[in-house]
Amino acid sequence: MLHLNHSLSAPKPKPNRIDLAVNLLPERKMFENTNFINKKTTLIYQNDARTLIFEDCLFSN
């Protein structure tokens, strides 16, 4: 299971908005009609799009 606070002492740099937009485009289209993507996407600190989606699914209500 992934944990958002797995590295409090060494936070990862935030990906820039361009990287997020490019990396999330296919996954956003896949999930755009569901509740799996919340409004905090830009706050997630990992660049891997599949990890982003997985964390959103785990931690959004």
In a domain, 42, yes or no: yes
Question: What percentage of the chain exceeds 70 in pLDDT?
Answer: 0
Domain with 46, as residue range(s), is 17-59
Radius of gyration of the chain (CA): 11
Domain count, the chain: 1
Q: Is 7 within a domain?
A: no
Position 1 in a domain: no
Q: How far apart are CA 23 and CA 17, in angstroms?
A: 10
2-18, pLDDT tens digit by residue?
555 554 555 666 555 54
Structural domain includes residue 6: no
Q: pLDDT at position 12, please? A: 62
Residue 2 inside a domain? The answer is no
Domain annotation covers residue 45: yes
Residue 32 lies in a domain: yes
Give the pLDDT band of residue 43 (cuts 50, 70, 90): very low
